Structure 1
Amino acid sequence: MGWLTMTRLGMAPYETPKAYLDAQLTYERPATGETPFRALRVLKSVYSGSAYYAAVELYDESGARLYVTAIICLVRWNPKAADGHIFGYKDMDEDMGPCEAACPRSVLELLTSSTHPHALDWRRRCYRMLELTERTIAHGDLIRFPEPMQFTDGSRHADFKVRREGRKLTLTLPDGRGRFKISRLLERRFEIIRQPKVARTFFPAA
């Protein structure tokens, strides 16, 4: 499915992409002729600014759960768009095997089991991403990338020291020189080099 774009009037009465998409994925359609009853409700959704992830429950006419699947939407949101089309989205479900695999754990853990190969592959990729992004790196840690990274000054480095100043994180060389910024750092593969702790030696008082 392609992109659907709209103006603020088209979004009404919803003010945000998340509110609009939550509403689109919450409905009941009665059975008509050969078309069976279909109903959805959002159990949990997370909007990151460029992607929307939702755990969506399909249920029958009695309200009983059939299964819970993931819906993923790519999102474009520009409230100041010159042409007035401030919101656009492209939706897909996990069975389509989306490239986007940054689904939060809070959504993944609500999904029921699946046998669809594309869905299973997507879930594995999401959990691999979580293994990376949920790592904790502390001030003073040394990290090592599998291959040296090249920077705009032409230098190449694989080992860095972590500096934390509040919520801000920067990297230096292991000896403290330089300042480096690596985009989407926690989504990249690197090894945390734990420094050996040196036991303090205590001498008895004379």
Structure 2
Amino acid sequence: MGWLFMPFTAMAGHASAKSYLDAQFTYDQAHEDGTRQGLEILASSCPGNRVYYAAAQLTTNGVPGDVFAIICLVRWNPRSADGHQFGYKSMDESAGPCEAQCPARILDLLTPTDREYANDWRARCRANLALRSRRLADGDLVRFPEPMTFSDGHVAREFQVIRDGRRIILRAPETGGLYRVSRFMERDWSIVPKTRVHATLFS
């Protein structure tokens, strides 16, 4: 499916991308043979109106069936000059989306699947969750696998962590320079173990 754009006035009163998409993907349809097919959103997330993730359950005659993931790219622009303030592009997990930041509470609801791209997407989401769950304290020394080059020409692998609320700033130990690294918690790095100095005991 391609992109679909609309003004806020076409969102049927929904105040967010999440609530609108929850409603769009929920349905219960009757067929000529008397059967009913439906879809129910069990859980969803769309932080910052950027990417929508949902666990969707198929139903047949009211009986719950498989649960799969729906992913939507979202554009949210209240100041749009052309009036297209909200837009989305939908896909399911079997398309193997690049966006793989699905919350664990949604992943945990999905039923097993034999679709290769879907399983790969789930694995990437789990890997990203593991990266973001790493504990990092103020003053920790982190090391990247390869040297990083910054706009001021500084090149280094190791940096000291400075925590400023939820923000993470990196300080170069050699120069004291401060740096920001985009998507830091999703990158590959490790904490350098602190060297412990043991007191010398004299008899």
Q: Report the TM-score, using the length of structure 2 for normalisation.
A: 0.93
Asked if residue 120 in structure 1 is aligned to residue 83 in structure 2, the reply is no
Match runs of 1:177-188 below 5 Å: 177-188=176-187
Matched with 1:163 is 162
Quote how far apart the aligned CAs of 1:64 are. 2.0
SS at match of 1:157: strand
Q: Contact 1:73–1:89 (CA<8 Å) still a contact in 2?
A: yes
* 2: CA distance, partners of 1:116 / 1:78: 35
Q: Contact 1:40–1:57 (CA<8 Å) still a contact in 2?
A: yes
Bigger drift between 179-188 and 128-137 goes to 128-137
SS at match of 1:140: coil
Q: Contact 2:144–2:189 (CA<8 Å) still a contact in 1?
A: yes
* 1: CA distance, partners of 2:32 / 2:186: 47
Bigger drift between 124-133 and 72-81 goes to 124-133
Quote how far apart the aligned CAs of 1:201 are. 7.0
Structure 2 gap segments, 5+ residues each: none
Structure 1 gap segments, 5+ residues each: none
Matched with 2:12 is 12
* 2: CA distance, partners of 1:156 / 1:32: 67
Quote how far apart the aligned CAs of 1:134 are. 1.3
SS at match of 2:185: helix
Matched with 1:154 is 153
Bigger drift between 172-181 and 70-79 goes to 172-181
Distance 1:87 1:200, change over 3 A: farther
Q: Report the TM-score, using the length of structure 1 for normalisation.
A: 0.91
* 2: CA distance, partners of 1:199 / 1:43: 55
Q: Number of aligned residue pairs: give it.
A: 201
Q: Contact 2:35–2:60 (CA<8 Å) still a contact in 1?
A: no
Percent identical: 48
Distance 1:175 1:114, change over 3 A: same
Deviations 1:151-200 (A, max 9, x none): 00112111000011333321101357110100110011011112133346
Matched with 1:52 is 52
SS at match of 1:80: coil
* 2: CA distance, partners of 1:95 / 1:168: 34
Matched with 1:29 is 29
Quote how far apart the aligned CAs of 1:148 are. 0.6
